[in-house]
Amino acid sequence: MTLSIRRATPADAPALSQICLLTGDAGKSAAPIHTHSELPGLVWALPFVLIPKHTWGFVLVDDDDTVKGYILGTSDTNAFRVAEEETWWPPLRERFPLEAKEGRTEADQWYIELIHRAPDPAPAECLAFGPAHMHIDLLPEVQRQGWGRKLVDAAVQHLKGLGIGALWLGMDPRNTEARKFYLKLGYKEIEGPRACVGLKFEDWKGL
C-alpha cells in the first residue's frame, strides 16, 4: 500500500466523519459510546471542509484514494467561530433539540450540549499564541509510521505561506499517547485552564 498526502475537499466529509468516530474516545473508537455516531465528526472535522472561509485541510490517502488520516484547521480561529455560528451550528441545533434525550447516550448528549452552547470561546492563552488551530487523527493502521509528522509539515508549510508563524490545538488530557506525539514534534504546553499545546514554526524541524 502506497500512501500520499493531498488537500482535503468537501467530498472527503464521510471519510473524515468516520475517522473522527473511530479515534474519538481519547484515541480509541467512540462508536460503542454513541447512538448518533455522526456527532464527533460534526463538531471536530466537517466544519473544516464544509465551511469555505478561514479553513484548510490535508488528508492521508492510499492507492485507491481512501482516506486514512487527516489534519484540519483554521487560519483564523475567531473568524472561523463567527462563520460557524452563522452557518454551521443553527441547523444542527434544530436537528438535535437539547431536550429530546430519548435514545441518546451520555456521549451523544455531551456533544449536543456542546453544539447548543457553541461557539465555546477559544482559550485566551491559545489565541495569544497564534490565530491558527488544528485537529489531527490517523487510523491505527497508519500510526507510528511518520505520517503524523508529514501531515503536520503540510499544515506548517501551508500556514507559512499565509504569513502565519504558529499553530495550536486543544487536547483530551486522557490521551497521553497524543501528548507524547506532540511534544516529540516540538510542540510546547500552553499554560492555561485547558490542556493545549502549540508549535512555533521557528522550532519546527521539518521532515
What amino acid occupies position 201?
A: F
Task: Give the chain's domains with CATH numbers.
Answer: 4-203 (3.40.630.30)
pLDDT digits (tens, 9 = 90+) for 18-35: 999 999 998 999 999 999
- Beta bridge pairs of residue 166: 200
Q: Model's pTM, two decimal places?
A: 0.94
- Looking at every residue in the chain, the average pLDDT score rounds to 95
Q: pLDDT at residue 164 above 80? A: yes
Query: What value does the mean pLDDT take over residues 98-115?
Result: 94
pLDDT higher than threshold 90 for residue 174: no
Question: Which ranges in 65-190 belong to alpha helices (H)?
Answer: 77-83, 89-95, 106-117, 124-129, 147-161, 176-185
Q: Looking at per-residue confidence, does 206 or 66 come out higher? A: 66
Question: What percent of the chain stands above pLDDT 70?
Answer: 100
Cis before 97? omega within 30:
no
| Percentage of the chain lying above the pLDDT 90 cut | 86
Element (H, E) at 141: none
Q: Give the mean model confidence (pLDDT) for residues 87-98.
A: 96
User: Radius of gyration over alpha carbons of the chain, in Å?
Assistant: 16
Strands annotated E in 27-100: 55-61, 67-74
Rounded Cα gap, residues 136 and 148, in angstroms = 8
